[in-house]
Amino acid sequence: MKAEEQFVHSSGGLLLGVMGDPIAHSKSPQMHGAALQALGITGAYVPLHIASERLGDAISAIRTLGFRGVNVTIPHKVAVMEFLDQLDESAASIGAVNTIVNDGGRLTGYNTDGIGYVRSLKAEAAPELQDTRILVLGAGGAARGIIHSLLKERPAELIVANRTPDKAVQLAEEWSTLGPIRGIGLEEAPSFIEGTDLVINTTSIGMHPKVDGTPFSADLLAPGMVVSDLIYNPLETRLLREARERGCTAHGGLGMFVYQGAYALEYWTGRPAPVDAMRQAMLECMGS
> What residues act catalytically?
77
Choice from 28, 73, 102, 162 touching ligand ATR (CB under 6 A): 162
Name the minimum Å distance from CB 155 to ligand ATR: 20
Q: With CB under 6 A as the contact rule, which of the stretches 28-36, 59-67, 107-115, 200-208 interacts with ligand ATR?
A: 200-208
Exposure on the CB side of residue 38, measured as CA atoms within 13 A:
20
Residue partners of 284: CB distance under 8 A and separation at least 6: 30
Residue 59 Cβ vs ligand ATR, minimum distance, rounded to whole Å: 21
Nearer to ligand ATR (CB atom), residue 33 or residue 140: 140
138 binds ligand ATR (CB under 6 A): yes
Phi, psi of 230 (to 5 degrees): -70, -15
Q: Least distance from C-beta 160 to ligand ATR, angstroms?
A: 9
Residue 141 within binding range of ligand ATR, rule CB under 6 A: yes
Our finding on whether 139 is near ligand ATR (CB under 6 A) is yes
132 near ligand ATR, rule: CB under 6 A: no
What's 154's DSSP letter?
A: -
Binding mask 201-240 for ligand ATR (x = CB under 6 A): -xxxx-----------------------------------
CB 145 → ligand ATR: shortest distance, Å? 8
Strands (E), the chain: 14-20, 43-49, 69-72, 86-87, 99-103, 106-110, 133-137, 157-162, 181-185, 198-201, 226-229, 249-251
Stretch that binds ligand ATR, among 103-111, 125-133, 160-168, 169-177 (CB under 6 A): 160-168
Interaction between residue 142 and ligand ATR (CB under 6 A): yes
For ligand ATR, give the closer residue by CB, 93 or 204: 204
For residue 108, which of 143, 174, 59 has the smallest C-alpha distance? 59
**Cα four-point dihedral sign 50, 107, 84, 70:** negative
Of 39, 43, 48, the closest CA to residue 10 belongs to: 43
- 43 versus 206: smaller Cβ distance to ligand ATR: 206
Closest CA to 197 of 277, 133, 127, 148: 133
Q: Which residue, 15 or 207, is less far from ligand ATR as judged by CB?
A: 207
Could you tell me if 172 and 135 are in contact, meaning their C-beta atoms sit under 8 angstroms apart?
no
The residue type at 142: A
Helix (H, G, I), strand (E, B) or coil at 17: strand
Q: CB of residue 115 vs ligand ATR: minimum separation in angstroms?
A: 16
Question: For binding to ligand ATR (CB under 6 A), which residues are involved?
Answer: 138-143, 162-164, 167, 186, 202-205
